[in-house]
Structure 1
Amino acid sequence: MKLKSKQYYIRKSHRYLGLVLGVQFFFWTLGGLYFSWNNIDKVHGDHLRSGKKYFPASMQMVSPQVVLEQLKVNKAIDSVQSVQLIEIAGVPTYQVRYFSGAMDHAQHEAEGHMPSHTSNVKVQLANAETGAFVSPLSEDMAVVVAKRQMADPIKVDKVEYLTEVSSHHEYREKPLPAWAVTFSKPDKCTVYVSAELGTFQAIRHDQWRVFDFLWMLHTMDYAGRDNFGNVLLKAFSIFGLLTILSGFVLYYMSSPSVRKVKKRVQKV
């Protein structure tokens, strides 16, 4: 029985590797073309948003200490993460983030990181002019906040209150609960507003959704879309390298020019 040559096995391996990887290479190329030909600011929806508004320097405000003292009356405040001046429907508002529970805070500090919005951080909104507490955003107020974010707001199509989302949702890894305010146009645009933080979080439209889908195919993270260290991507990267190397080996083994050089060397 005649043994098959090394070239046969290399050629066969190269063919099957190319077949398996060809579809993924197509997705990588398609995604790369879309990413490079689209303005990332438009993907983020910046062109749909109105200009940022600022408060006049003459504005009268109470001290944030007034809000903190009011909080201490009914809350066990361990420490304060931040006090930020934000705007809610034109009203200057303090956004106070604080920790309630020394044990939880000490644990996070010992681990070397501060808690995220999903941890023990609590939020209190307060009118910066009067110091009066402000409740989390209602549906009507969320719509007002969303409209003020749009450069040319169109009729509101629907409003949803989100308390949880999947890893594939377009509002993943953002503060919850949140209001999703969808406008009839442009591009099925949805503005997400955090109910507790009182602030705009994200704007999603069709261009972003196409980008997000191609990004999933690009990273091969079909669970969460943003993990570059997943096993599937690492495996395909290695297979891709083997495919390229096998192609170089095949060229070397089958090239007439290489054979001519070998003959000349042997004669010498």
Structure 2
Amino acid sequence: MRRLARWHIWLGWLVGVPLLLWTASGLFMASWPIEEVRGAHLRAEPGAVALAGLVVPQAAPVTKLTLVDEAGRPVWVATLAGGALRRFDAKNGLALPAVEEAEARAIALATYRGEARLVGMARFAADKAPIELRRERPSWQARFGDDTHLYIDAGTGEVLAVRTRLWRAYDFMWGLHIMDLEGRENSHHPVLIGFAALAVAGSVVGVVLLFRRRRARRRFAASDPAA
């Protein structure tokens, strides 16, 4: 019993901080609906596209063809063999160039449903994408006055993500929860596995101590004539 108690104390010291972080971050993440975290209330639903008169692009062989509305203009987003993405005007089937700032601004304003003003635009290369985007795609970042960031694919014009203050706080808590503050995606690494194993071991020792103490008390009560 004494040895188990010592193990329990030492394991408690080792995993106390991780357990506090896991509990606090889990409580924070459970406190918010995931739709609100993702900014669904700030993102307009895509408009319906009439199919009459649309022209299918005559391009290289494609593996996927998606029809999207980009600020009122119907556009084909084609996934070519090999994974490359290209966009085509759905009205004439012609290839469209990369998205310029003015077009990205128009798409952002057509998508955003909040009340804040658009305060800036910035372009990022695929290998320099902000961590909050979580996509290796060239993008335009539209920044609004309420600290909402809306990302538009610089190649296809698609809206990639809406990131809010709440999303960034949630993302930080997720990084704490999985102990990966750098990439915030890796939930399979030695530090997390090691602390989780120690926490399980501490819990098992605690349960064993609980039942052994209860059994010891019952034996003591049975052997004590004054009980």
1:190 aligns with 2:149: yes
Among candidates 70, 75, 80, match of residue 98 of structure 1: 80
Which residue in 2 is equivalent to 1:147?
109
Q: Distance in 1 between matches of 2:11 and 2:90?
A: 63
1:257, CA displacement in angstroms? 1.5
- Give the corresponding residue for 1:209: 168
- Secondary structure of 1:121's aligned partner: coil
Indicate conservation of the 8 Å contact 1:147/1:153, yes or no: no
Q: CA deviation at 1:35?
A: 2.0
Which secondary structure state, in structure 2, belongs to the residue aligned with residue 203 of structure 1? strand
For 1:136, the aligned partner's letter is A
Q: Secondary structure at the match of 1:225?
A: coil
Aligned CA RMSD, in angstroms, stands at 2.2
Equivalent AA in structure 2 for residue 243 of structure 1: G
Question: Take 1:253 and 1:91, find their aligned partners in 2: how far apart are those partners?
Answer: 72
User: What residue in structure 2 maps to residue 116 of structure 1?
Assistant: none
In structure 1, the partner of 2:21 is: 27
CA 1:153/1:192 → structure 2, altered by over 3 Å: closer, same or farther? Answer: farther
Q: Secondary structure at the match of 1:134?
A: coil
Question: 1:83 aligned to 21, 40, 65, which one?
Answer: 65
Identify unmatched segments of 5+ residues in structure 1: 1-6, 72-76, 100-119
Equivalence for 1:235: 194
- Aligned partner of 2:14: which letter? V
Aligned to 2:137: 176
* Equivalent AA in structure 2 for residue 96 of structure 1: A
The 1:131/1:246 distance shift into structure 2, 3 A limit, reads: same
Give the TM-score normalised by the residue count of structure 2.
0.88
**1:132-174 C-alpha deviation (Å, 9 max, x unpaired):** 22111001111111111111353222211111247x81012x1
Could you tell me which runs of 5 or more consecutive residues in structure 2 were left unpaired when the two chains were aligned.
none
Contact 2:21-2:176 at 8 Å conserved across structures: yes
Report the Cα distance in structure 2 between the residues aligned to 1:124 and 1:52, rounded to whole angstroms: 19
Structure (1 or 2) with the larger CA radius of gyration? 1
Q: State how far apart, in whole Å, the 2-side matches of 1:202 and 1:263 are.
A: 69
Contact 1:153/1:183, CA 8 A, preserved across alignment:
no
Deviation for aligned residue 1:15: 1.4
Contact 1:48 1:150 in 2 (8 A): yes
Normalising by structure 1, we get a TM-score of 0.75
Identity, in percent, stands at: 24
Count residues in correspondence. 222
Q: Distance in 2 between matches of 1:189 and 1:247?
A: 46
